Amino acid sequence: MEDLVIGGGCEMTMGGDRVCAAAESYIGLVEVGVGLIPAGGGCLFMLERVLEGIDEPVLSNLPFIRVAFENIGMAKVATSGEEAKERKYLRSCDVIEMNPDRQLWTAKRMAIGLAEEGYLPPAQPMRFNLPGEEGLATLKMMLHNMKLTHWISSHDEKIARHLGRVLTGGDTTINDTVDQQTILDLEREAFLSLCGEPKTQDRIAYMLVNNKPLRN
């Protein structure tokens, strides 16, 4: 048995407090394949994962953010539960159930266990220290070089710039905090902007007809 997480399933999974994943879980944020970026919290949850444990502002957290940028921008898909942990789609505390016949039972026991421990949802929204325009400038330079060497197309670069703006927090600096609603707003803004792009619409149409991405 294999679990295929598709159509927003990755964001729903990442938004859970605990996950019971199948050993053969295929999971990733692959929206760039149709000319878009994740807009259901995917960017937010990936930022949460890569910045986990960094409680105070640091000189530069761009190397951590770049992990999220590459995961989403290159549509990296985990092909197993263990790989999903490596790519941050699953947390280290999430459970991988080897026996598919026990997966629902294990998940139920996990939910009951959380309830018995007195689980409560987080009292405060997530907040991040993000580099803003300074960090985005570095990502833009990387994208420019990739375009010059024909690794990406002009439209790939445009999508990645939108993604970079979301992941670096928009109009902010490393010494200011950005809350989760700001990231969600940036996600939505970028998603809607890309929906209006003719080349994105071409990618969507091509995927629906041919079931594979269009490189345009």
- Supply the pLDDT for residue 54: 75
- Supply the pLDDT for residue 55: 65
Contact 21, 80 (CB under 8 A): no
SS3 49: helix
Share of the chain above pLDDT 70, in %: 94
- Supply the pLDDT for residue 4: 56
Higher pLDDT, residue 109 or 54: 109
State which amino acid sits at residue 137. Answer: A
Higher pLDDT, residue 46 or 52: 46
pLDDT band of residue 59 (cuts 50, 70, 90) is: low
Angle, CA 163 vertex, CA 19 and CA 46 arms, to 5°:
20
Which tens digit of pLDDT belongs to each residue from 9-35?
899 999 999 999 999 999 999 999 999
SS3 77: strand
Is pLDDT at 57 greater than 70 in this prediction?
A: no
Higher pLDDT, residue 164 or 121: 164
- Supply the pLDDT for residue 5: 52
Which tens digit of pLDDT belongs to each residue from 110-136?
999 999 999 998 888 999 999 999 999
Go through the domains of the chain in sequence order and give each one's CATH number.
3-210 (3.90.226.10)
- Left (φ > 0), alpha (ψ -120 to 50) or beta: where does 198 sit? alpha
- Supply the pLDDT for residue 40: 86
| Locus of tokens 């960094």 | 54
- Supply the pLDDT for residue 56: 62
Look at strands 25-28 and 95-97 and give their pairing: unpaired
Share of the chain above pLDDT 90, in %: 82
Rounded to two decimals, the pTM is 0.91
- Supply the pLDDT for residue 60: 78
Mean pLDDT, rounded, of the chain: 92
- Supply the pLDDT for residue 7: 65
Count, residues in the chain = 216
Is pLDDT at 6 greater than 80 in this prediction?
A: no
Is pLDDT at 1 greater than 50 in this prediction?
A: no
Look at strands 177-179 and 25-28 and give their pairing: unpaired
Contact 68, 88 (CB under 8 A): yes
- Supply the pLDDT for residue 3: 55
Half-sphere exposure (Cβ direction) of 118: Cα atoms closer than 13 Å: 0
